[in-house]
Chain A
Amino acid sequence: MSTTAVTSPIDEVKTTPWAGGRSPFSVEYGKMMMWFFLLSDAFTFSSLLIAYGALRFSATAWPAADHIFQSVPLTSIEHGAPLVFVGIMTFILIMSSVTMVLGVEAGHRGARKEVAWWMIATVIGGFMFLGCQALEWSHLFHEGFGWGKMPKEIGEFFPDGTKPSAVYTQQFANLFFTITGFHGFHVFTGVIINIIILVNVLLGTYDRRGTYGMVEKVGLYWHFVDLVWVFVFTFFYLV
């Protein structure tokens, strides 16, 4: 981008990114399309979350997250540990995002073995998250929650001083399973894609191709899944 050879203002115009002759984005096709796919996916997720927000805003009372999520599956803790389990899930997903980006970094150096190990770690993190979500869902199913289903006794889920409402409890259950289910489906597909990429890394496909760009593209997808979880976590468990 040296401007020393510029002799007139007209020449200077030709060096701008939009002057033609080269890509103003300077990313490869697949990476740009992954970004635009993620943008459309962001619209889908925000539509779901905003619909949840609108229903919650118009409700007179809403079940409190720290009253519903009190147990830690696989332990004897059934009550009195609000949000502990979701904290573990959040940590697992952030951690797997880190292993993914470390894999991408190793890919830039063309270190095949390192990429493979970081991809394995990412896949394990994805399975751990899915396992945690399965445990949490089955726990809620046993309590009586589900699409179109809720426990008979709902008084304990509402904050003190508000009137328990069956309608809002049902709305909460439907929205919770729909949105975390849609996110979990993304995690599941992400794990499948990561495994495919891992196999290709082990087969040396990207060494032959001379670039580890594919690792970067699935990395974008995986980070997006983490990004969505950050929002789901805030709006379902904290607010």
Chain B
Amino acid sequence: MSEIKHTEIHEEHAEHDTMTRKKIWNVFFVLLGITAIEFFIALYLVPKNIVPIHVANPIYIVLTLAKAFYIVAYFMHLKFEKIGMVYSILVPTLFIIGLILVLTNESHHWVDLR
């Protein structure tokens, strides 16, 4: 019970705590910065063999997910919605992880068929 009350109070606060112009530009610079880091890895660190490609790939994916978080949470405003709304959008995306697991597993068998 106390947990529910706590989230409610938090949400009430969050509703007023919406995007201001300053925050929008902050998120823009975060997105720009992450993209710049990705280009730095792709155009400098990997060609010079400072970072091997099998290390760079997971870094790209983590940075991509970070960018996705900033777009969905701040630009699409999902962070400031009610918790029920947030979950009804985010929980179904777990199906995507399911498909990733199934098809990457399947692709290992396709290698033998090539």
Contact = CB atoms under 8 A, between A and B. Distances in A.
A25 B103 contact: no
Contacts of B24: 98, 101-102, 105
A100 B71 CA distance: 12
16 contacts: A17-B4, A25-B84, A25-B85, A35-B85, A50-B96, A53-B107, A66-B43, A83-B39, A91-B32, A97-B75, A98-B25, A101-B24, A101-B74, A102-B24, A220-B76, A234-B60
B103 A1 contact: no
Nearest to A165: B114
A86 B1 CA distance: 51
A36 to B, nearest CB: 8
A237 B60 CA distance: 11
Contacts, number: 142
A24 interface: yes
Interface string A41-68: 0110011001101110111100000100
Interface string B68-101: 1001101111000111110011001101100110
Grouping DSSP codes into helix (H, G, I), strand (E, B) and loop, the B interface class, with mixed when no group exceeds half, is helix
B5 interface: yes
Contacts of A216: 77
A203 interface: no
A14 B66 CA distance: 38
Contact of B61 (A3, A16, A26, A234): A234
Interface string B10-36: 001000001111001100100110010
Contacts of A36: 89
B71 A105 contact: no
A90 B5 CA distance: 42
A223 B76 CA distance: 7
A91 to B, nearest CB: 8
A134 interface: no
Interface of A: 1, 3, 9, 12, 15-18, 24-27, 32, 35-36, 39, 42-43, 46-47, 50-51, 53-55, 57-60, 66, 82-83, 87, 90-91, 94-95, 97-98, 100-102, 104-105, 108, 216, 219-220, 223-224, 226-227, 230-231, 234, 237-239
Contacts of A83: 39, 42-43
Interface of B: 1, 4-5, 8-9, 12, 18-21, 24-25, 28, 31-32, 35, 38-39, 41-43, 47, 57, 60-61, 63-64, 67-68, 71-72, 74-77, 81-85, 88-89, 92-93, 95-96, 99-100, 103-104, 106-108, 110-111, 114
Given A1-B9, A24-B84, A39 B108 contact: no
Contact of A230 (B68, B93, B108): B68
A227 B71 contact: yes
A32 B4 CA distance: 23
B21 A102 contact: yes
Contact of B75 (A16, A42, A223): A223
Contacts of B72: 223, 227
